[in-house]
Amino acid sequence: MDETTARGTEPQRYAVDLFAFWHPSVWGLETVADIKELGARDPRRLWDRLLTLVTDSGVQAIEVTFAPFDWRTAVAAYGSLSGLLAELDARGLAIVSGYLPSLEDPVALLPENRASLLEAVGGYVDFLAAVGATALVGSAPLRGTRGAITASFVDLATASRLAVPFHEIGAICQRAGIRFALHTESHSQMWTARDIDLFMLATDPFYVGLCPDAAHIVLGGGDPVAIAAKHSDRLVTAHWKDATGPMSWDLPIDKSIHVAHREFCRVPGEGIVDWAAWAAVMKSAGLLDPVLLEIDAIDTPVESIRRAIRHLDGVLATV
């Protein structure tokens, strides 16, 4: 198929969150801990291989994420910011956004730890601005397991408390010309349609936007197209990922919950998301350049990304 899409004569650009390459077998390793060890011991070896996988998949940009697929390891791999930029330019790649894992840690969000968090965010945001990225994305901490002996609730008080660090991070981003967006992570405190409404109400739109993830919204029983359209004025970026349908709210919520999500996640075109309708909302919001794919950690990321691109090229040609 001709790569020309709704953008006219220019080929459609795609980006991918680097989480797509998180599976140990991609690296010939046994565990995720082995990937982290390789990144700490030999960042250049890891990042050379990572960027080769990225270019082989057919995307033109990336969202940096957890270490060692993070910005600090990337800079260490090439000796400096300028060295990293030269490597990206040589490969025809760009960095469009960054994911902030520390927002998932409730301890990091405590008032007594806020200064350390904000200092780290400042360095991250300065990096994103320097490489020409536009967005910083983060998820709220996990919910408590439903029915647990010690129950926890996501209510207006919860959203108001979390809005404090979210606003502070948003202000740091604004000063650097970066936009901050909350991500709709499954089983997090901002997951269901109601949760998203709650956090959009509790936060200032001048400083806090939204990064809807189509798959995670489906997993929570929501309609990703309707939610994205409802909050179209808050959209900063979006994760294009598919899902087979809703998953239970009653799973035990612990550190393994993210692995449980993978059973239900699919590449775009292999689940139930209405991608034509989703793409129309994103086009109206100016978020088609690039389309940011999120592929769950699987052992065939390059092939999966290529399948997603083939499907979405067809969809976007009609939008």
Rounded average pLDDT over 148-155: 91
Which pTM value belongs to this model? 0.94
Rounded average pLDDT over 188-197: 97
CB 170 within 8 A of CB 215: no
| DSSP tag of 188 | B
Q: Which residues contact 206 (CB under 8 A, 6 or more apart)?
A: 170, 174
CA atoms within 13 A on the CB side of 71: 26
pLDDT at 8: 54
Kindly tell me if the per-residue pLDDT of 195 is higher than 70: yes
Kindly tell me if the per-residue pLDDT of 253 is higher than 70: yes
Bridge-based pairing state of the strands 242-243 and 265-266: antiparallel
- Report CA dihedral (72, 68, 266, 60) to the nearest 10 degrees: 50
Rounded distance, CA 139 to CA 161, Å? 15
Q: Average pLDDT over the chain, rounded to whole?
A: 95
pLDDT digits (tens, 9 = 90+) for 12-52: 999 999 999 999 999 999 999 999 999 999 999 999 999 99
pLDDT digits (tens, 9 = 90+) for 49-79: 999 999 999 999 999 999 999 999 999 999 9
pLDDT at 6: 45
Rounded distance, CA 122 to CA 239, Å? 24
Kindly tell me if the per-residue pLDDT of 130 is higher than 50: yes
Single-letter residue type at 222: G
* Joined tokens for residue 165: 């660090």
Domains of the chain, each with CATH number or no CATH: 14-316 (3.20.20.150)
